[in-house]
Chains A and B, each alone.
Chain A
Amino acid sequence: MATNAAADKYSVLLPTYNERENLPLIVWLLVRAFEAHKFNYEIIIIDDNSPDQTIEVAKQLQSLYGEHHIVLRPRPGKLGLGTAYIHGIKHATGNFIIIMDADMSHHPKFIPQFIAKQREKDYDIVSGTRYMGDGGAFGWDVSRKLISRTANYLAQTLLRPNASDLTGSFRLYKKEVLARLMEECVSKGYVFQMEMIVRARLLGFTLAEVPISFVDRVYGESKLGGMEVVTYAEGLMYLFANT
């Protein structure tokens, strides 16, 4: 049951596309969080051939922090998040995988809390939540909040997943659990994150949540357009009818 904590290794998957501003900062914060707790870790940077030469920044970071901590697994073009995870799992040497965004909206300071939570009851998944306890989001106007609150309420009502944040993408998985879920899930984008949780419940995996503060895009822009709302509604219906 309980794993030997000293033998645990955490592989962070960082898919990047035009993140040369953020990548050094997020890596610095990651290294600080892991070193402070003496965790065994590696950061796998999966760059999809960014035009802004993110890879050049990644190489600098690798020479700074070492090849055992910074692993480069670039891909020839923009191939999407789902395949980035599959690609990353294949190369990960840790027994745990952490997925997060490289754009600084997810703060590495929460990772030690994820790990502590995981060890409490040997959970299969620990998911960051913006909708519980001290969790929340910075940089959202009223309409953005209303959309996400409504979307979350609909998902809670229709899917009853017993998890407060389905669309978050800051999570810790046991490696074999993530690999198993990747075989099952067919959706993309926000719906993909939702499907992961729903399928995990169906397969009987255990899940715990840790409140996180989501700081929306320090650099660059994020938007939620009409198209994304439609895609979300379709995905919700798909999961309602098929799970």
Chain B
Amino acid sequence: MATKLQQFTLVFGFVSAVWTVFLLNLQPAALKPSPAVSQIIPALPFVALVAFCAYSLMAIGYRLATFNDCNEASQELQQEVKLARADLSAKGFKF
């Protein structure tokens, strides 16, 4: 099976090749984009990069903001530590 790097290279290479074809206007005449679309083609890699970064920042920011602090779990554990110490001491365990 291809490694993740090979998979990435394959997809990246394919998309880059398609972009280059449109950039140099080498595509079949039937696929000719409108003048408005032609204008943004050179900027597409930059747009993709910005979109990816924006998505990444939002994803990380959202998960950071919604991270569960588990305060109850900590309090519960402290109670259980007391129980454990008392029970172990009663059974003759020496800390």
Partner of A243, one of B4, B69, B74: B4
CA distance A239 to B78 in the complex (A): 39
A205 to chain B, nearest CB (A): 15
Can you name the residue of chain B whose Cβ is closest to the Cβ of A131?
B63
Q: Given A24-B93, A28-B84, A241-B5, are A149 and B63 neighbors across the interface (CB < 8 Å)? A: yes
Nearest CB of chain A from residue B73's CB, rounded to whole Å? 4
Q: What string of 1s and 0s marks CB contacts (under 8 Å) between A59-84 and chain B?
A: 01100100000000000000000000
Contact-residue size bin, chain B (C-beta under 8 Å from the other chain) = 20 to 34
> Is A214 interfacial (CB 8 A cutoff)?
yes
Segment 70-95 of B: residues with Cβ below 8 Å from A: 70-71, 73-74, 77-78, 80-81, 84-85, 87-88, 91-95
Contact B70 A214 (CB under 8 A): yes
> Is A115 in the interface zone, CB < 8 Å from B?
no
Q: Is the interface of B mostly helix, strand, loop or mixed?
A: helix
A132-168 interface code vs B (CB 8 A; 1 in, 0 out): 0011111110100110011011000111100000000
27 A-B pairs in the complex with CB atoms less than 8 angstroms apart: A24-B88, A24-B95, A25-B80, A25-B85, A29-B80, A29-B84, A60-B93, A107-B77, A136-B67, A136-B68, A136-B69, A137-B67, A137-B68, A138-B69, A139-B74, A140-B69, A145-B67, A146-B60, A146-B64, A149-B67, A150-B60, A153-B60, A159-B4, A213-B68, A215-B74, A218-B77, A243-B4
Using a CB–CB cutoff of 8 Å, the interface residues on chain B facing chain A are 1, 3-5, 8, 56, 59-60, 63-64, 67-71, 73-74, 77-78, 80-81, 84-85, 87-88, 91-95
Seed contacts A104-B81, A134-B68, A150-B60; 18 additional CB < 8 Å A-B pairs: A25-B80, A25-B84, A25-B85, A28-B84, A29-B80, A60-B93, A61-B93, A107-B77, A136-B67, A136-B70, A137-B67, A145-B64, A145-B67, A146-B60, A213-B68, A213-B73, A218-B81, A239-B4
Shortest beta-carbon contacts, A-B, top 10: A136-B68, A213-B73, A213-B70, A28-B84, A138-B70, A138-B74, A136-B70, A241-B5, A25-B84, A240-B4
